[in-house]
Chain A
Amino acid sequence: MESLIADVVPAKESGGFTSHCVHLEAGPSQFTVRALKMQGSTMLIINPKGTEVFEELAVSMPSRNSNSGESVSSTILGGHGQTDSSVLAGKLSKRYCRQFYVSLNLKLDRLVGPLFEKSLVTYMQDHLEHFA
C-alpha cells in the first residue's frame, strides 16, 4: 500500500494485550493511529500526525443476533449523540463482529473522509493481527 509511511512497528505479545502505532496518509493529510487490542475488543485512537489529543470517545458493539449484521454505538466522552467516532466505531464493529472503542479526532470533510476511511480499512485488513 503506497500511502503507508515507514513507521510501522511490529506489536509483540504482552500478556493478553497488544498495541500498535502507525502513520497513514489520507490525500494531503497524515494521521496517526494508535491501536490497543484487548480480549474481544479493540481501541483505536486516531489523530492528525504531530498533534495528538484525546477528545471524543465512542464505543460500539456488534448485534447479539449475528445474522442481522447491525451494530449499536454510542458516544461516551466529548460529544453528544452521533459523532465521527461513533459512526466509525459502528462500521468497524459491524465489519469485524467485535467491540470497538474509537477516539477519532480528525476534522474530516466530504473529500478527505472517504480517503481516510479507505486508507484505514486497507491498512487494518492488511495487518489484521494488530486489530482483530
Chain B
Amino acid sequence: MTHAADKPRAIGFDRQFSADVNGVPTEIVFHGFANKWFLVITQLGKIPGIYNVHFDVQRDERVVPYLHGPVDNPEFHVSVPITMNCCLGLDTDETRSAIQFLVNKTGLHKCPTDFVVGLGLKQIDGPNLRALAKVIEEAIF
C-alpha cells in the first residue's frame, strides 16, 4: 500500500489522494458535508456510477451490541442495514455488495447521515475489496 501523499499538498476536499489497491492505482476523494458524506473511489479515471446510501437504522437508534458497528466475527456476522439508490450508472449486484462490504468493514458505518458514493472498480472480488477497505480505513477513518 503506497500513498502518493508524501509531500504536503493543497487539496480541495477533506481527503483526496491516489493509492495502490492490489496493484491497481485508485483515486479516492472524501468530504464530510453538513448533510451528507461524499466519497469517490475509482480506478477508471472517472465516476461511472453514483449511489446514494441511506442507513435504515440511524446511528443513535441502533441496539447496544451494534452501537460500535457491525459484528465482524464470521459466525455471528450481521450487516449494517442500508438502502442504496443508484443515481447514475449500472445498478448491479456486484456494486451493491461492494458498497455493503465497505460499509461493514470501514468507518463508513459511523456516518451520522446518508452518504453518496461514486464507485468505479475494475474488478469486484474479495481480495480487491479487502485491500480497498484497508486503504480507506487507514487513510480516512
Enumerate chain A interface residues (CB-CB to B < 8 A).
9-12, 14-17, 19-21, 34-36, 38-41, 43, 45, 47, 51-55, 57, 59, 76-77, 99, 101
Contact = CB atoms under 8 A, between A and B. Distances in A.
B39 to A, nearest CB: 11
Contact of B4 (A14, A39, A53, A77): A14
A82 B82 CA distance: 29
Contacts of B101: none
A47 B34 CA distance: 11
B116 A34 contact: no
A16 B11 contact: no
Given A12-B10, A21-B12, A52 B50 contact: no
Interface residues of B, number: 30
A26 B16 CA distance: 28
Contacts of B45: 16, 38-40
B33 A54 contact: yes
Interface of B: 4-5, 7, 9-13, 16-18, 25, 27, 29, 31, 33-36, 38, 40, 42, 45-47, 50, 52, 87-88, 116
A12 B116 contact: no
A31 to B, nearest CB: 14
Given A36-B29, A38-B47, A14 B12 contact: no
Nearest to A36: B29
B87 A40 contact: no
Contact of A36 (B33, B36, B40, B88): B40
A14 B17 contact: yes
Contacts of B38: 45, 54
B9 A14 contact: yes
Given A34-B31, A38-B46, A39-B45, A57 B87 contact: yes
Nearest to A47: B33
13 contacts: A14-B9, A14-B17, A14-B18, A17-B16, A19-B11, A21-B12, A34-B31, A45-B31, A45-B33, A47-B33, A55-B35, A57-B116, A76-B87
Nearest to B33: A54
A47 B27 CA distance: 24
Contacts of B50: 57, 76-77
